[in-house]
Structure 1
Amino acid sequence: MDLSNYYNIASFSASFLISVTCLIFKFSQQRTERKHNKIYIAIVGILIINSITSILAEFFVAAAPYSKLFAVLLEISQTSYFLFHSALCPLFFCYVMRVSGSGFITKRTKLFFMLPFLLTLIPIILNPFFHSFFYYTDGYKFTRGPAEASIYISGALYLALSALLLMFSWQALTSKRKIALVYFFMITVIGILTQLFFMFIKAELFAESLALLGVLFAIESEDDRIDVDTGLYNRKALKNDINSFIVNKRQLYIVCVRITNSDILRKAVGSENTDILSEVVSEYLKTIVPKHHIYNTNPGSFVLTLMDCTKEHARDVCLQMKDRFDRVWTYGDSELPLSAIFMAAEVPERITSAADAFYMVDSPIPANNDKKILLGSDLDYLLRRSAVENAVTKGLKNNSFEVYYQPTYQLKGQKLHGAEALIRLHDKQIGSIFPDEFIPIAEQIGMIEQIDDFVLREVCKFIKSGLPEKFGMDSINVNLSVIECMQPGFVKHINNIVDEIGVDKHMINFEITESVAASDYKLLNSVVNALKNHGFRFSMDDYGTGYSNMESIFSLDFDVVKIDKSILWSAETSELGQIILENSVRMIKQMKREILVEGVETCKQIEMLDKLAVDYLQGYFFSKPIPKEEFIKMLQDNDEEKENVKNESADSASR
């Protein structure tokens, strides 16, 4: 053997080692069930076989002049090389189809795509008889036959088809997959062209194995798509796959399994580790669909993809799972009576984007829902949520938010005391949206801080106008989002807004809901104290609706406690309600806090509250929440009315 033989053996050995490494790593991941995984393994297997036959051919070509047996073995090894190697480009074409999500051809077109490969096989198989593909000279020098061009033409055709597939499915691919596939193209083409024009440089196998190594780490390794604890696909995987399905116009159903009593773990097994749920439930779900069609999106939430599925089949799958959840689950020695809701939606008819899929996965189930299976029109609430979220997202830019004001009055003399600022959303597409609906969504999508800042700025501008002081208002109440309050630098942020506009901080009274204060008062204490030191006032809102305790009221040093309307209304209809109202007022007074009662609507209620000597009143008896301009007009009308009464009294006295 000469030096070129040793060089070729080294190159083929490197290709062999790289390919074997890819194969071992792939099997060690235990992720070989998807079709593109199987195609990748087949490609690597071919490279291993080609590397072995090429190494043997180098030995056989050196020994062939001395033995006819080695000459025959040389012919067999070289023929085997071309037989297997001719399948590489067709397999890569299939791999690209699967990875891009567009590889779902019909049976008719399958034969058409296989035709170039089949035509290439004919001269290879017949080569021992006609030597039209390759042959060896008397000195056993490898010589290309005219038919060898077919393997390059076939390969170029499949690579071109693969490139077209990538172009059409480019938007469906992640950045990492795009880079990996382009890298494969470049390295493979460089290796093929090098060996085509410089036959003595055996670079093709090495280039292909190197390219497959890149594909292994960028595509076949799915570490970023798999939840480490559960071994199931994660949210990122679902997002990428849904995008791929939609871009490639795949028809499927997404089925979401939402476990509604995951707290059963703590009661049954003394653990809040939701991975136990995934372990118990996922094993069952694998009997419904293959593992690579299961996604663990949230603790206690799973998504299944049912490919090419009808509505009837999706309903049957949901019914099958419901029947299983109606029975007790077991974990070790514990029994888990799990409860779940099942939702099924079609892609792309109802689910038109990954965001729509996550609406279904993450959105709260409507409180009035009494169904276990939600399908078709049952999921219309998702459309509403999507529309509301869109309205919230664009609200500030489109000037859709508006601050309303509801006045508060002193009990004695029913003199104006102040007002509560309340946010409203008016969307051009879906109309007016109340805070109870859009505030939770704003908190979930991270818009609540911007909305709170908008309200505070609008209130400061109103105070800056001088009208509140002119009409005798002591303060304006602004609802405080505890989500924002817990953010670092919150106190400085609030002070910066108020100082920027330049208003008296005593005119701003922040409200915190009772349920939040009762659970997080230790965290809020430093924030409340810091803001009060700067001159702001504080009220507890909705007293009586949460988990009241005097410790929270006392520790947070509220100036005013606002008793919820439910306590007032209950006091009118029952003796127990009357006792609760009287005792609440007594306790708050003993703690030396002022009292405002919400929901005042009748003279009878005012008389009852007058006997209890509360401080302030708020409710529809005086005014519903109204826009700022209407609020100003109402105050002006009230002032004019008072002035007229005063003038009439003066005229009467002068007569």
Structure 2
Amino acid sequence: MSESTLYWQGGGIMMEILQPYIADYSYVGDITVMAMCIVILILLFQTYLHKTHQFRLLLGMIASIIGSCSSNMLFESYIRSGSSSAIYPYIFRMLHYLLLLSALFLYTQYLRDPLWMPGQMHRKYLFITIDTLIAGTIVDIIATRFKFGFYIDSDGLAHSSFNIFAVMSLPFIVTIFFLIINYRSRIIKQIFYSLMGVNIVSILMLSIQGYHNNSSYTNAACFFSVIGIMFMFHSNPYDIDTGAVSGIYLNDEIESTLEKGRNMILLCCSIKGFTTAVRQSNALRYEYHKFFRQNIKKGILYHFSGDRMVLTIKKQSNTNYNRQIEAMMNQFLQIHKQFGLKYKIIIMETMPEVLDVEDYQKALLFIEKNMRYNESHHVTPDDIIGFYDSGYILSQLEDIAARKSIDDERVEVYCQPVYNIAAGKYDTAEALMRLKLPKTGMVYPDQFIPLAEQNNIIHWLSMIILSKTCAAIRRFMDEGFEISRISVNFSVLDLRYDSFCSEVKEIIDHHGIPYDKIAMEITESRSSEDFHLMKQRVLQLRELGIKFYLDDFGTGYSNFERIMEIPFDIIKFDRIMLIGSSKSRSSGFMVSTFAQMFNRLNYSVLFEGVEDDSDEKKCISMNARYLQGYKYSRPIPINNLRRFLVSRSG
């Protein structure tokens, strides 16, 4: 900065300009930057952003720039106003530079997370920047004291020989560019180019300003860097059409509400095909968006992937929320009647049973999976207990799969004896899977089979059950019991493994039992690809002598053409067929005809769900060969099957 002198005298200022001390300056630059900072703060606090450490650093930068602008304008005002006090120009000048350098310091700290800076390296640059601030401040004070920097002499003349800010800011600028370039491989190229571009523009602006001996836009040049990181890392989360906030911010609101000791209601609505439907129907878009905009006034609407939305409403005293929710539901159902989209609605309040903020979203997903479409559900503490039990069961399943122990004690084999009508005895059974876990005790299939299938764990469980069933058959044979076979259930997911047939053969061979002592129960699949794979696996294993059952005939999907293509040995009629046969004479005739048809085609028919003598008599009259149900036995540990088997020695 060129040297100049200012004459300070009494209540006015007499200015003798030898060389202008004050570079060309306009208040417009700092006023504009301050206004933009305030606008950004308003926007930041009205959006639902993560209030992370990075966010707080961003706020610190903005606050530092606002302070720097204010100090600079006050400094310029005192210089120009002719104030009789000489101390304030020193204070405001120092504040201006320190706050501006603080903004640069916070900027270097902000870059730590996006650039994945190692802790040791971060501490190194932290010390460098702090040392620069301290050293620069000391140098400026010394320069003022010994009158080779900015100072006002005893005659009221102000002098300046060099720009201390340029000297102090140089290490920060070098550090910023070094960090961005050195760690560029850790960020995507778009962010790298953005950070480099914004900072280059800032440097160019400072250079052009210095060349023209102007100081109006120093704060603006620093402010550009703030704008850059705000756009790159703190973008607007709102959905313009619905007014919904990105779902990633829901946990922040829940946490903030609970920290204040307040409660809130979460209304989760999942609409099948919503995103596609609103694009195709203007009427639908209008009605649903009107609904969202009307009800968003009651709270905050969050949008998630999978056409799921969550509306949060903070609870206050003396408000009938049940009436509000009922009115919203009625309005929603009116729209549903018009357009007919399938929905699931869950109403949940914050409750002490939920142990972690993140568990609210997980619990909503868990409950939704167990719901049918076009239903609404109010969450109870029992639902939360079930959610946590499910999480514990899943962790145990994952551990079972990770350990890969074929004899894992947590997986137990139960069975249900099957009565052979022609032989008049029990010579077969169905193996059933159970889990016995330390915290929950006995866990039944409906609690863990869906979890195992959804998380790709079912195959290992199937192999454990097969192995333990083979071991039980081996014991029964060694003890002299007559056992024709025991059937084991397999999922279509099992059949997709290329190694499935070899694994089955290896397990049966390991226990040294004949292949025909094992039967496999499989359920028909709608998928053409799965059907052809099933057919291939059945043909391959049937050559060994393994028997095959078609499970759950009469429920869901049944295609006679496909059934005829696969050489099943036994067709299992579900209890629903037995119940249906009693509804009318025509229903009974139909079920009986199915059974008779399968018998003529050399398929044996097994009726499940036989509960009393009446059921037994009806099944026998409908050409059943095997009977299974509570009339004969509930599921029992497989070792207890001995009570039903006939001993060859007896």
What band does the TM-score fall into relative to the shorter chain? 0.5 to 0.7
Give 2:485's aligned amino acid.
S
Query: What does residue 74 of structure 1 align with?
Result: 24
| Structure 1 contact 541–563 (Cα < 8 Å) conserved | yes
Indicate if the aligned counterparts of 1:417 and 1:474 stay in contact, CA closer than 8 A.
Answer: yes
Partner of 1:336: 339
Deviations 1:490-518 (A, max 9, x none): 44454455455555433221112357699
Shift of 1:386: 3.2
Query: Contact 2:243–2:296 at 8 Å: present in 1 too?
Result: no
Q: With structure 2 as the length reference, what TM-score do the two structures score?
A: 0.64
| Equivalent in the alignment of 2:266 | 255
Instruction: State the match for 2:233 in structure 1.
Output: 219
Q: How far does residue 540 in structure 1 lie from its aligned partner after superposition?
A: 0.8
Segment of structure 1 superposing worse, 581-590 or 248-257: 248-257
- Answering whether residue 403 of structure 2 is matched by residue 401 of structure 1, we say no
Partner of 2:647: 639
Where in structure 2 are there 5+ consecutive unaligned residues? 3-15, 54-58, 140-163, 174-201, 204-220, 401-407
317 and 536 in structure 1: CA distance in 2 versus 1, 3 angstrom threshold = farther
Task: Say whether residues 1:128 and 2:61 are aligned partners.
Answer: no
TM-aligned CA deviation for residue 522 of structure 1:
4.1
Q: Equivalences for 1:223-372 in 2 at 5 Å?
A: 237=248, 241=252, 253=264, 255-259=266-270, 262=272, 281-282=288-289, 284-289=291-296, 293-306=300-313, 312=319, 315=322, 318-328=325-335, 336-338=339-341, 340-347=343-350, 349=352, 351=354, 352-364=356-368, 372=376
Amino acid at match of 2:362: F
**Could you give the per-residue CA deviations for residues 118-172 of structure 1, whole angstroms, max 9, x where no partner exists?**
79947852653368999xxxxxxxx9834433356667999999999x9xxxxxx
Structure 2 residue matching 1:539: 3-state secondary structure? strand
Aligned equivalents of 1:457, 1:311: Cα separation in 2: 62
RMSD: 5.9
Q: Residue in 1 aligned with 2:564?
A: 554
In the TM superposition, residue 626 of structure 1 has moved relative to its aligned partner by 0.3
Give the superposition deviation at 1:276: 10
Is residue 176 of structure 2 the alignment partner of residue 200 of structure 1?
A: no
Structure 1 pair 162–456 and aligned structure 2 pair: CA distance change class (3 A): farther
Q: 1:518 to 1:389 in 2, by over 3 A?
A: farther
Q: 1:436 aligns with which of 442, 446, 455?
A: 446
Which whole-Å CA distance do the structure 2 matches of 1:606 and 1:340 have between them? 42
Change (3 A) 1:461 1:232: farther
**Structure 1: which 5+ runs fail to align?**
3-63, 104-109, 135-142, 167-173, 644-655
Instruction: Decide whether the 8 Å contact of 1:233 with 1:292 is kept in 2.
Output: no
Q: CA deviation at 1:252?
A: 6.1
Kindly provide the amino acid, as one letter, of the partner of residue 639 in structure 1. S
1:150 is paired with a residue whose SS is: helix
> Counterparts of 1:576 and 1:265 in 2: how far apart (Å)?
45
In structure 2, distance between residues paired with 1:511 and 1:311: 58
Q: Which residue of 2 aligns with 1:474?
A: 484
- Give the Cα separation in 1 of the matches to 2:241 and 2:37: 36
Report the Cα offset of residue 431 of structure 1. Answer: 4.7
Correspondence 1:595 to 2:605 = yes
Is the partner of 2:334 in helix, strand or coil? Answer: coil
Alignment of 1:464-503 (within 5 A): 464-465=474-475, 467=477, 470-487=480-497, 489-498=499-508, 503=513
Matches within 5 A, 1:140-155: 145-151=90-96
Alignment-mate amino acid for residue 24 of structure 2: L
Q: Which shows bigger deviation, 582-591 or 488-497?
A: 488-497
Shift of 1:239: 7.2
Q: 1: CA distance between counterparts of 2:26 and 2:413?
A: 85
CA distance in 1, matches of 2:529, 2:417: 29
How far does residue 363 in structure 1 lie from its aligned partner after superposition?
Answer: 2.8
Name the structure with the higher helix share: 1
- Deviation at 1:539? 0.4
CA deviations on 1:518-561 (whole Å, 9 max, x unpaired) are 99634532333333345432101122223333213212221111
1:482 and 1:212 mapped to 2: Cα distance? 55
Distance 2:317 2:504 in 1: 54
Partner of 2:154: none
Which moves more between the two structures, 560-569 or 422-431?
Answer: 422-431
User: Residues of 2 paired with 1:370 and 1:324: CA distance?
Assistant: 15
Q: Secondary structure at the match of 1:599?
A: coil
Q: Residue 161 and residue 609 in structure 1: after superposition, are their counterparts in 2 closer, same or farther (change >3 A)?
A: same
Cα 1:91–1:348 shift into 2, 3 Å: farther
Amino acid at match of 2:385: L
Counterpart residue number, 1:649: none
User: Aligned partners of 1:327, 1:411: CA distance in 2, in Å?
Assistant: 56
Identity in percent: 20
Deviations 1:271-328 (A, max 9, x none): 9989997886356424433899544335442123446767947656534532331323
Q: TM-score, normalised by structure 1?
A: 0.63
Determine the C-alpha separation between the residues in 2 that align with 1:488 and 1:575.
Answer: 47
Assess if the C-alpha contact under 8 Å between 2:68 and 2:100 holds in 1. no
SS at 1:524 equivalent: helix
Change in 2 beyond 3 A, CA 1:189/1:284: farther
CA distance 1:340–1:449, change in 2 (3 Å): same
Distance in 2, matches of 1:276 and 1:188, equals 61
CA distance in 1, matches of 2:246, 2:512: 49
Question: Would the aligned equivalents of 2:489 and 2:520 in 1 still touch at CA under 8 Å?
Answer: yes
Offset of 1:596 from its aligned partner? 1.7
Q: How many residues align?
A: 542
The answer to whether the 8 Å contact 1:254/1:303 transfers is no
Question: Please, which moves more after superposition, 300-309 or 551-560?
Answer: 300-309
3-state SS, counterpart of residue 413 of structure 1:
coil
Q: Does the 8 A contact of 2:344 with 2:373 survive in 1?
A: no
Which structure carries more relative contact order (alpha carbon 8 Å, separation 6+)?
2
Deviation string 1:341-399 (CA, Å, 9 cap, x unpaired) is: 54333447455332431331353476699974x4463x743432332342243256594
Match of 2:386 among 365, 381, 384: 384
Aligned AA (1:219) = F
**CA distance in structure 1 between the aligned counterparts of 2:522 and 2:352, rounded to whole angstroms:** 43
Q: What amino acid maps onto 1:150 in structure 2? A: L
| Amino acid paired to 1:439 | I
Q: Using the TM superposition, give the Cα deviation of residue 480 of structure 1 relative to its aligned residue in structure 2, in angstroms.
A: 1.2
In the alignment, what sits opposite 2:403? none
How far apart are the structure 1 equivalents of 2:616 and 2:347? 52
Q: Counterpart in 2 of 1:505?
A: 515
CA–CA distance in 2 between the matches of 1:406 and 1:133? 102
With 612-621 and 463-472 compared, the bigger mean Cα shift is at: 463-472
Amino acid at match of 2:90: G
* Amino acid in the other structure paired with 2:93: E
SS at match of 1:288: helix
Which residue is 1:38 aligned to? none
